[in-house]
Amino acid sequence: MNVGVTPLELQASPDSMLPRQAVIQAIRPEACGVATFSLALTDPAEAAAYRFLPGQFNMLYLPGFGEVAISVSSDPGEPRVLGHTVRYAGNVTRAMGRLKVGDFVGLRGPYGSHWPLGNGSGRNLVIVAGGIGLAPLRPVILAILRNRDAYGRVVFLYGARTPPDLLYTSEFGWWRERGIEVYVTVDRADETWRGRVGVVPQLFYLIRMEHKNTLVLTCGPEIMMRFVIYEALARRIPKEAIYISMERNMKCAVGFCGHCQFGPNFICKQGPVLNFAAIEPFFGKEDF
Amino acid sequence: MPPVLPRVSARVVVPKAALQKVFDNLRDAGFSLVGPTVRDGAIVLEEIARIDDLPIGWTDEQEPGHYQLKPSREREYFGFAVGPHSWKKFLHPARLKLFSVAKQDGRWLVQPAQDAVPRYAFIGVRSCDLNAIGIQDRVFLGGEIRDPLYARRRGPVFVLAVNCGKPAATCFCSSMKTGPRVTVGFDLAVTELPEIFVVEVGSEAGSEMLRDTLWEPAGAFDLGRAAQVCERAERAIARELRTRDLPKLLYDNLDHPRWDDVATRCLSCANCTQVCPTCFCITVEDTSDLKGTVAERTRVWDSCFVLDFSHVYGGNIRPSIRARYRQWLTHKLASWIDQFGTSGCVGCGRCITWCPVGIDLTEEVKAIREKASK
């Protein structure tokens, strides 16, 4: 039967489910139960060819345990070493917690959509993250810092449940020096905390926003993102200028397993970064 | 002088017993024949060798939640409708090893699964199922990334299609424009008459398989009788699914009370997704030996009705049956169109027949349409 596929084409098709071998170069503890694994592909040709864009993710694999989708959290300008900030939460990630430098993990990717940075174009950015939702946004900040003059005002709003849950805090000073406005809050303070207390969307009240030529990029719990969108819309930022990064169960990352569907979107293909205007009818719909 | 073969798109007649010669020709050409046969009180799809393996003289009675084989007085070869199996069991097998990893001297040896894939000849494919194959082609081969496992199985398939003569009470292919008459994508398409098959030749390969079958060009009388078989089948289809504005209807009614209603009946057993010829969702299983030096990954059919299907850290996205049924139906009839440019439903009726509580998606859609919010 004519299916329009010749055997030759079929042979040329690479097996998208096969992991590449990568070695752990460093493990940096970030927060309570969270660490960044710096990975390098062991095949020199594969390592040299690998590129990713901020917001994209890899599938990390541990033989016998399984695979997990993890955003690349490192500098897209340094694609030889790929940072993956992992929370020890499930079967695979807990097993990763027992690995050490020099051990191997499987890696395939990068997959998914990316944050719409373009080449900056003088745009203002409001980057809003909650908890480990900062991991896929860190490459955005690092990309901006490489090319700071191409952007307008850059505001970074960040929060976590408690102070020890905040990620990458040692870098915030450097980010500030390079012209990024950093505002941090926690849901619950401890005795060491001298900063703000409250939920992330409230940080919008600290900044006076120019609504023109401004993009809002947000990643965190869906409930947080809902209120971030609410605050952004209240400041007359158009729906089309709001981007969110979503999480769903994922088994294949190439659109075959069906697990990550969100209405018409596969989070692995159209996502994880989605434009709010495109998903508004479904976003926040109960159990959707 | 070699025997003359019919040209592509010709219509010929062959005696019924000559189907055995077609089978033999296919086997000689290296095909593994799979087709309908009776097992465990149902007509299933399995390897077959001879025409006697076909469910000759059997028919089926289908209703929501009901399937019953019955002997039929006419000794028809294909006098039944689709059973619980579909061709996806061959093209998209329920279990498929992906690869194994062996740890050796500090390195990994990733070995892709090297299973021998037969060249299948599908015997007795109905138009609905042929369309279902076309839909899975779009899912697995239509995108930027193709599934090589599906492609390897799909590429060389030979299709001997059958024009449906006896649709079941659960069939609604005419609503989905997928039948009952076979129109594209076949090598041979047969229409069964009491003493002969009228055969339409769809490809060179199909023509080749008619060698030594005593075929003759079909005359007007036989063509007329064959056309009547299709017309009768079309008239016999009573079930209807109104597809007009269906995606919008479902998207606009994600909070319709009917979802709560169907959730009180649905057992979330996943039968509908397993018998569906287009449902493609999979999960992955990981195993290893006790020392952890050799590990394997296997992909297996999954279902959006399984609670863990939507598991993320902190819980499941769709904890209720209401949410899971809604996901299945809106995917099948609405978001599938956004994703693949075609509905995910071919109107084969399997999900209606094999639902243990007889949930009928055409009735669910009708109920939503009757009290639509927009």
Residues A128 and A237 in one domain: yes
Mean pLDDT of A109-117: 96
Residues A89 and A158 in one domain: no
A262 located within any domain: no
DSSP letters, B230-287, are HHHHHHH-------TTHHHHHHHTTT-HHHHHHHHH-----HHHHH-SS---EEEEEE
Task: For residue range A175-233, list pLDDT tens digits in order.
Answer: 999 999 999 999 999 999 999 999 999 999 999 888 899 999 999 999 999 999 999 99
DSSP state of B195: S
- Report pLDDT for A5: 40
Interface contact B280-A258, CB threshold 8 A: yes
- Report pLDDT for A86: 97
Residues A155 and A93 in one domain: no
Residues A140 and A47 in one domain: no
Residues A93 and A206 in one domain: no
Residues A107 and A128 in one domain: no
- Average pLDDT taken over every residue of chain B: 95
DSSP letters, A223-284, are HHHHHHHHHHHHTT--GGGEEEE-----SSSSSSS-TTEETTEETTTT-SEEEHHHHTTTTT
Say how many domains are in chain A.
2
Give the best residue of A94, A105, A132, A256 to mutate against chain B (max B CB count within 10 A).
A256
- Report pLDDT for B83: 97
Residue A6, pLDDT above cutoff 80: no
User: Closest to B251 (Cβ–Cβ): which among A251, A257, A281?
Assistant: A281
CB pairs under 8 A between A and B: 145
Residues A225 and A186 in one domain: yes
Angle (CA) B166-B167-B171 rounded to 5° is 175
- Report pLDDT for A4: 40
Q: Is the ipTM of this complex over 0.95?
A: no
Q: Does A46 touch chain B (CB under 8 A)?
A: no
A255 located within any domain: no
How close are the terminal C-alpha atoms of chain B, in Å? 70
A78 located within any domain: yes
Q: How many Å lie between the alpha carbon of B41 and the closest alpha carbon of chain A?
A: 31
Residue A2, pLDDT above cutoff 90: no
Residues A165 and A240 in one domain: yes
The CATH number of whichever domain residue A210 belongs to comes to: 3.40.50.80
Averaged over successive runs of 10 residues, the pLDDT of chain B (374 residues) comes to 80 96 98 98 97 96 98 94 98 96 88 89 98 97 92 95 96 96 96 97 97 95 97 96 96 97 98 98 95 93 97 93 98 98 98 98 97 78
User: Closest to B335 (Cβ–Cβ): which among A5, A65, A263?
Assistant: A263
In chain A, which among 151-180 make CB contacts under 8 A with chain B?
A: none
A12 located within any domain: no
The CATH number of whichever domain residue A65 belongs to comes to: 2.40.30.10
Chain A residues in contact with B318 (beta carbon < 8 A): 287-288
Residue A11, pLDDT above cutoff 50: no
Confidence of residue A14 (pLDDT cuts 50, 70, 90): low
Residues A239 and A131 in one domain: yes
Strand ranges of the sheet holding A20-31, from the earlier edge strand across to the other edge: A66-71, A57-62, A104-111, A20-31, A34-41, A82-87
Residues A128 and A234 in one domain: yes
- Report pLDDT for A22: 96
A233 located within any domain: yes
For residue B111, the chain A residue with the least C-alpha distance is: A18
Mean pLDDT of A133-157: 97
Residues A153 and A239 in one domain: yes
- Report pLDDT for B374: 63
Residues A40 and A151 in one domain: no
DSSP letters, A188-232, are S--TT--SEES-GGGGGGGSPPP-TTEEEEEES-HHHHHHHHHHH
pTM assigned to the model: 0.94
A118 located within any domain: no
A254: left (phi over 0), alpha (psi -120 to 50) or beta: alpha
- Report pLDDT for A9: 42
